[in-house]
Chain A
């Protein structure tokens, strides 16, 4: 299984902090998975419909959206960070 965690307005629009899904094929990229999730419609489409507004981390490391998910256990999806 793959755990997906959401933060900030991505979390609010989807209405979930995290969820589990069946592990996709190893070659599936983060962007591919975002498109799959957005196709669920509703809050998912609101949160994930425009991938240019999203950033991601695999197993707690920032990764470009064209990175394959491979054998990562946790994918995080969120807007660009605004700390400091």
Chain B
């Protein structure tokens, strides 16, 4: 099972986990990214490259399936305006082996950060805005998987 969704709307984490559990592998790992508040942040705006995003996330998923013995994976990435507390991204993996489930989940989120065409803009109280800068350590982490 490979499920990839790039969408504006929210998603149901429990339903995603249940679908992965139903594959019967015995091990499911997941990561959920949530908009972090504080510092006067009122919203994040996620822009993406519609013609490329789905295919690129699909390639990242294929890479994970080639590297680990997975029964299934699910990747959901939202775009548009998201307020603090809103879910941004979900990665779930299912395998017969916990190491494969955990490692592939970490790999997927690291690669999404540096290899998927999304850009975040922050909106603050008072009207200030700013584009989030890519962090060198994110690129280093993704490269660390070889």
Contacts and interface: CB of A to CB of B under 8 A. Distances in A.
Interface of A: 5, 7-9, 57, 60-62, 74, 76, 78-84
A76 B49 contact: yes
Contacts of A5: 49
Contact of A84 (B52, B55, B116): B116
Contact of A60 (B33, B51, B116, B132): B51
Contacts of A57: 49, 52, 117
Interface stretch (B12-20, B62-70, B106-114): B106-114
A75 B67 CA distance: 30
**What's the interface size class on B, roughly?**
20 to 34
Contact of A83 (B51, B120, B133, B139): B120
B83 interface: no
B121 A81 contact: no
Between B49, B114, B115, the greatest number of chain A beta carbons within 10 A of the residue's beta carbon is seen for B49
Contacts of A78: 49, 117, 119
A62 B118 CA distance: 13
Given A79-B131, A81-B118, A83-B120, A8 B47 contact: yes
22 contacts: A7-B47, A7-B119, A8-B119, A60-B49, A61-B52, A62-B56, A76-B117, A78-B117, A79-B134, A80-B133, A81-B115, A82-B113, A82-B118, A82-B133, A82-B134, A83-B48, A83-B89, A83-B113, A83-B118, A84-B112, A84-B118, A84-B138
A78 B117 CA distance: 9
Given A60-B51, A76-B49, A76-B52, A84 B33 contact: yes
Interface in B78-129: 88-89, 109-110, 112-121
Nearest to B89: A84
B49 A62 contact: no
A23 B112 CA distance: 32
A53 to B, nearest CB: 10
Nearest to B139: A80
B46 interface: yes
